[in-house]
Amino acid sequence: MYTARCPPKVLEALHLHPTAQEQPPSTALGDWYVDFIHTRDHRLVHFVSDRSLLSVVVPVRTLKTALNRHLASLHDLLEQFGVHPAIIQAELDEMGERVVGKTRSQSVLASMRALAINARSILAKATRASPLEISYRLAEVPCGELAMALPSELAIRLLQKRHSNPAERGRGA
């Protein structure tokens, strides 16, 4: 279980209402913050893990399905990083239950804005970059909030710690 944390403009665009009763996330990557990235040629939905600052970018297409497409895109991104399929599936299973809430962390929002600037820069240089390519490149951007660690490395560590059996630790990503 996790919370999709949205600013008011996203709640309005997705026609969502925040839940009154929130619970702590049961996922390794925590709650996911959701916002939009708009450029002249692209409309994207940007998801950021509050624990690792891992970004997942999906095209807007239809907003109704953006939250669900986030899971498929997260799967593809973690697969690109070589995360063991059982660990990916365990995290996605945990993410099967979702509630919607308001944003809470100003530091996550600030990191998200900085990552969105990086995404726009990537798109300015490579206008045909796929959402997966953008997500992959954002995962390799050192983040000050993480003491200049890479979101990809932290996400992998969190996933392995939460979902690996003791005998399997060290294998996978």
Rounded to an integer, the average pLDDT of 141-148 is: 85
pLDDT in tens, 22-40: 789 999 999 999 999 998 8
For the chain, what percent of residues have pLDDT higher than 70?
95
Overall fold of domain 2-163: Nucleotidyltransferase; domain 5 (3.30.420)
* Residue extents of the structural domains in the chain: 2-163
Residue 56 has pLDDT above 90, yes or no: yes
Cα gap 163→16, rounded to integer Å: 30
Looking at the whole model, is its pTM more than 0.85? yes
Predicted confidence at residue 140, as pLDDT, reads 96
Please report the beta strands in 29-130, taking only residues with DSSP state E, as ranges in sequence order. Answer: 32-38, 43-49, 55-59, 98-102
